[in-house]
Chain A
Amino acid sequence: GAVVSQHPSRVICKSGTSVKIECRSLDFQATTMFWYRQFPKQSLMLMATSNEGSKATYEQGVEKDKFLINHASLTLSTLTVTSAHPEDSSFYICSAFGGLWGQETQYFGPGTRLLVL
């Protein structure tokens, strides 16, 4: 099946620094990728839709200046958490929309655990 990778898998940073997370679709092209956030024992909350070659679409309540998304190619989307604070600590998961024609679905990356000290 389709493979999506994320890098890094785990990151610890100091408060005030910025962290970039990469999401790659390895064996298919994805014009649309999604970024989710998941707190412990909670559901996945959609943060934004990343569209190749255009601006991301953010969900209500998500600060676009804090969570910068860039989808520069058909296989790569990046999420940058700017000026991270402890409350930004979470599990960030990306997904890429793709697959066989008529059977497209979301393929999730393995996630990135962010801890802000």
Chain B
Amino acid sequence: GQQVMQIPQYQHVQEGEDFTTYCNSSTTLSNIQWYKQRPGGHPVFLIQLVKSGEVKKQKRLTFQFGEAKKNSSLHITATQTTDVGTYFCAGPSGTYKYIFGTGTRLKVLA
């Protein structure tokens, strides 16, 4: 069945360093979503990418959708302690239904 993998599984960075997580789908996606889950919290929607090669920015976060629409990335510039959490990508798998990636847990060391 459809699989959505993310690498790395864990990432520890010093505050101020950059961070990137990569998302790879076994199937072509019509769109991809990104979520952030703080420790002990629930997933919060960050963004949705739809077009091939699309790049969107939210302050220090840059999201990219691959040309083949099978992969995506999230890049955080100059991480802050508030960026701590797990970042999930999610791809559609039916009407309104999304399959979540394996997630990348980010820890930022002050």
Residues of A in contact with B (beta carbons under 8 Å apart)? 32, 34, 36, 41-46, 49, 60, 93, 97, 104-111
Distance of A106 from chain B, by nearest CB (Å): 7
Distance of A53 from chain B, by nearest CB (Å): 15
Task: Tell whether B33 is near chain A: CB-to-CB under 8 Å.
Answer: yes
Pairwise interchain contact A108-B103, C-beta atoms closer than 8 A? no
Interface residue count on the B side (C-beta < 8 Å): 20
Residues of B in contact with A (beta carbons under 8 Å apart)? 1, 33, 41-45, 48, 88, 94-103, 105
List the A residue with the shortest CB-CB distance to B4.
A43
Q: A97-B96, A106-B98 are in contact. Are A43 and B103 (CB under 8 A)?
A: yes
Distance of B14 from chain A, by nearest CB (Å): 22
Q: Would you list 15 pairs from A and B whose C-beta atoms are within 8 A, ordered by A residue?
A: A32-B95, A41-B105, A43-B88, A43-B100, A44-B88, A45-B100, A46-B97, A46-B98, A46-B100, A49-B96, A93-B42, A104-B96, A105-B48, A108-B45, A110-B41
Provide the residues of chain A in CB contact with B96, threshold 8 Å: 32, 34, 49, 97, 104, 106
List the A residue with the shortest CB-CB distance to B35.
A108
Pairwise interchain contact A110-B42, C-beta atoms closer than 8 A? yes
A34–B93 alpha-carbon span in the complex (Å): 13
Q: A93-B42, A108-B43 are in contact. Are A43 and B97 (CB under 8 A)?
A: no
A97–B102 alpha-carbon span in the complex (Å): 22
Pairwise interchain contact B100-A109, C-beta atoms closer than 8 A? no
Provide the residues of chain B in CB contact with A45, threshold 8 Å: 100
